Amino acid sequence: MPALGPAVKVSSVMGNGKMKTNRSAAKRLRLTGNGRVKRAKAFQGHLFTAKSPKRLRNLRKGTLVAGVDEARARRMLGKG
C-alpha cells in the first residue's frame, strides 16, 4: 500500500466499502414497493385553527418525493 497523505481517502485505495445510511433521512423517508421514495407532508405542526378540516385531513396522507430529489433521497437511504 502506498504512503497516504492526509488528503487521500483510504476507501479510494482499498475499495469502496459500505455506504452509511443517513439516519435523519431514514426516520423521515421510506421506499415503496416499486422503489419510489415516500415522505410525510409538511405544515402539520401547529396553527390548526387557521386550517380547514379538509386541509388537515389531506395533510395526514403521505406523498412521494419529487422526481428531481429522488436520486438524492435514495442515496441518503443507502439504496442508490
Number of domains in the chain: 1
Domain that holds residue 55: 32-80
- Residue 64 pairs in a beta bridge with 38
Tell me, what's the pLDDT at 22?
95
Tell me, what's the pLDDT at 3?
60
Q: What is the DSSP letter of 73?
A: H
16 domain residue, yes or no: no
pTM summary value: 0.72
Mean pLDDT of 5-18: 64
69 domain residue, yes or no: yes
68 domain residue, yes or no: yes
Max CA-CA distance within the chain?
A: 65
C-alpha angle 62-70-61 in degrees, rounded to nearest 5: 5
Which pLDDT tens digit goes with each residue over 23-77? 999 999 999 999 999 999 999 999 999 999 999 999 999 999 999 999 999 999 9
